[in-house]
Amino acid sequence: MNDILDQSEVDALLAAVDSGDVEERQDDIAIFSRWRKTTEGVEVRPYDFKRPERVSKDQMRAINALHETFARAAGASLSSFLRTIVEVKLSSCEQMTYSEFIAGLPNPTSFNLLSAEPLEGQMCFEISPLIIYPIIDRLLGGTNQELFIPQRPLTAIENRLISKVIDRCIESLQEAWSSVASLEFALSGSESNPQLVQIVPPNEVVVVVGMEMRLANRAGTMNLCIPYAVIEPLMDALSAQSWFSAPKNKSGIRYERSIRGQLRQAPLETNAILAETTITMRDLVDLAVGDVITTEKTKGTPSIMCVEGEPKLLVELGQHRGKRALRVIRPIELDDRI
């Protein structure tokens, strides 16, 4: 008997199954376990060994939330650097094999390798030429109106310009990951052809974070490829519970100290007001040496010291080591009549 059925035999077999003459055989699912004695309530799902899911859903949600913070910080940093509105949005966060990630990239492109001390291995940060050349045009004073996107690798000057953008993205990335671990990100290399870079085996699982960058009327994509082997030491810390609780325990105090330190170094303009009065324009024009300007302020009344134009302190005028000086009496209170 032939193992291969022709079309008439297949149709006859299907018709017999539909009419009930032949019962459809249902194989029992055999699930082997040392402890399980029954298969009731067991969920069976297909598993593709070519695309193993090594990162749990909770960890993927944590990575997604973490890089949403990175996208906002990168957009703000690039906006101040380029002096125009730059919008960065997180578009996708998924795990795949490294070969699938490389196959979806254009050639040429800006393919950058990042190191993250003390983690071993490298990450990939790819920026599409569709947004690289508008950024370069903006840095060189262009308007992006009639911009042509060339199909060639970046020149040395263009690589130098785009490295400034990558440095600011690295700073934002390091700030976003600081809630999980203290990592030192650095640019370790660049390449135009992603097919020439093999940081992990082709079947290695990687987490790819896709983002969209928009600059005026131009838009392009950015992709951050994180091999599972690189962030494996941090996977326990990437659980949703520990990640969301981290800012409450550690980051709050650290950010408060950082803000206080920055405020202490902020320069402020101060000045003292001796007295105020009004005169006519004629009197102002006729002023001469020896004239006396009268005010309603008495001799013993303290002067007002202003900080950035706001009255803050009551002071007395004097002299210290041959220079004019102010001695603070007390802060100005709400019920003081100034």
Q: For residue 181, what is the domain's CATH number?
A: 3.40.1550.10
191/275 same-domain check: no
Average pLDDT, the chain: 82
Are 255 and 304 in the same domain?
A: no
pLDDT over 70 (residue 20): no
pTM of the model: 0.57
Question: Quick one: 130 and 64 in the same domain?
Answer: yes
Are 87 and 200 within one domain? yes
Does 176 lie in the same domain as 80? yes
pLDDT, residue 1, reads 44
172: number of Cβ within 10 Å: 21
What is the number of domains present in the chain? 2
My answer on whether 209 and 324 are in the same domain is no
User: Is residue 315, in this structure, part of any structural domain at all?
Assistant: yes
User: Is residue 1, in this structure, part of any structural domain at all?
Assistant: no
68 with 201, same domain? yes
Judged against a pLDDT cut of 90, whether residue 125 lies above it is answered with yes
User: Is 157 found in the same domain as 75?
Assistant: yes
What's the pLDDT score for residue 322? 85
Query: Are both 92 and 215 inside the same structural domain?
Result: yes
* pLDDT for res 50: 59
Confidence of residue 28 (pLDDT cuts 50, 70, 90): low
Whether 313 is covered by a domain: the verdict is yes
Q: Tens digits of per-residue pLDDT, 228-259?
A: 888 888 887 776 444 444 444 455 677 788 88
Range of the domain at 323: 270-286+299-331
Domain match, 237 and 321 both = no
Residue 224 sits in the same domain as residue 153:
yes
pLDDT at 245: 44
| pLDDT at site 57 | 82
